[in-house]
Structure 1
Amino acid sequence: MSNFIAQAPASIKTFSLARRVAHFNIPVLLMGETGSGKECVAKYIHTTAFGENSTVPFIAINCAAIPESMLESTLFGYEKGAFTGAVNTLPGKFELANNGTLLLDEIGDMPLPLQAKLLRVLQERQVERLGSHRTINLSFRLMASTNKNLESEVAAGRFREDLFYRISVVPVTVPALRERVGDILPLADAFLKKYAHTIGKNICLAESAKAALLNYCWPGNVRQLENAIQRGMVLNQNGVIHASALGIPCNTQEETVDCPTAETPIHSLNASRQELQRHGRVAQYHYIADLMRKYQGNRSQIADCLGITPRALRYRLASMRKHGIEVCF
């Protein structure tokens, strides 16, 4: 699958569905945990639809990373003088994605008032820059991604039902890394090659490191795996990465009992999927708690380490408190 790694059955199934929907210009909703690779799947759909060497734009915007006051102008663009500080005319993401692909990442964090305006753009396929009355016709492929259960968000009144149905014509679930163990070592090898020129060439994984990678639950998913490989490359010993250099728990009863290994039968994984997800959440909470203690509660550093926004981190800390996990440091 070109530069996209998919060797585990769950990944092959996901990319197979992505390849089918790429032939139709219909809205796609990508669902999965933070760091699981939703944007990677979105780029696969884009390149399958337009070709790998195409100059057609792929525009991605993280709705959780931009302050609410700026998100509207970022999406719609604005004319010079539209508001204080608008010293130049600037096209929005809708315009930039015209004739290409627009990915609305973390759409579950979009404010309700802006959801209504987004729905109008999607229905009319037109946009007006802030401060302008000129309509601009649009034609783009829409994809959205979220780590939230949008149906629950709709029920709670935090997400518009009509927008949910508009963006989820074809939902695609990107499985967590712990649910596609067969991808772990191929991904690790890809990261070794990716950073070979900047960190060091001819660095390989020891057998103990491979075992540790396969037996860990990866609450931070692919993003955490990439960070672990970078750390291991920096701390290699004579060109070999040992398990102790990866910065993940190794050889503990807790980590090896609850996490699937490469030898775990597929039917067993499917039978215990809900239990596995529960353990994954617990592992994620404990991982965040460890980071809170390590960085003395510095949320910016913790969010950077996890590869998420400070706003997304706040949601996780609130969820931890809801489950009775308080962090003292």
Structure 2
Amino acid sequence: MHLHDLWFVAIAVLWIGYFFLEGFDFGVGILSRFLARNETERRVTINTIGPVWDGNEVWLLTAGGATFAAFPEWYATLFSGFYLPLLLILLALILRAVAFDYRGKGETDRWRRNWDHCIFWGSLIPAFLWGVAFGNIVRGVKLDEGHHYVGTLFDLLNPYALLAGLVTLSLFTFHGAVFLALKTTGEIRERANRLSIRLGAVAAVLAVAFLAWTQAEHGTDWTLVTSVLAALFLVGAIALSFKVREGWAFALSGLTIIAAVATLFLGLYPDVMPSTISPANSLNVENAAATSKTLGIMTWVALIFLPLILLYQSWTYWVFRKRIGVEHIPAAL
């Protein structure tokens, strides 16, 4: 395996890790507006991700940095062509982060309600737009001979990409509901379990339609395997939610995301950004890659620091592994 192939796999793993972890963050942020029935319950839902949400976003920063260093042509074309959607994602993530920090610094209901809106939209917008972005990457976009995007914003809002956005939105919301059922007690846990079953059914319909479309147009033998696995994992997660086996349900909902994202990268390879104008204009792992020396240095750095990061994040999740409920929330001021 060449270094550029290795780094394509590494970037795929980073995005898989980001969507697995930030997926339930987004889901909790979306559901905090509907699942909680009062201020105390809303604090419970937000506190389930309070210790980990910012650490989860490190995966996004690492994926973006790795793409910039390993595949500078891909990075340049992606961020220039998808400028507006990615800007909206960035603004939503910033607003969401500020909302988490400032929500508890005011004493009025209006203050908290306004920040709750920011958490909701700051979670929903990225959950949808990430799917749209990756749907377009797999489908292909209008690239000219210089690998410049020559399409418009409306070209990105095609049916395949919009369906991809609905799939990520529904899967992340389902993932968040299962996570809330796993991390809470009492009535919140019961409502999250019931809601996860309904959300899972919606996600299953959308995901099967999208994966079938992907297999029909971009599929290989490997994508067929991962697509079937994603469908089986999702059905299993719904069934286990019905049986109130939250730990196994969360594991399978996470495996669903892993298999679905793997399907996209397997369908994309060896391209990193196909051109719908001409295959000759496409970016692939060879013509978009950095020099071998750069990739070699990056590999050694990753081998040294990645295990340390994984150990630290695993320790964080272990420390904050216990359930929380309204009985753990002090009275509001």
On whether the aligned pair clears a TM of 0.5, the verdict is no
| TM-score, normalised with respect to structure 2 | 0.25
Structure with greater Cα Rg: 1
- By relative contact order (CA 8 Å, sep 6+), the higher-ranking structure is 2
| TM-score, normalised with respect to structure 1 | 0.26
Larger proportion of strand: 1
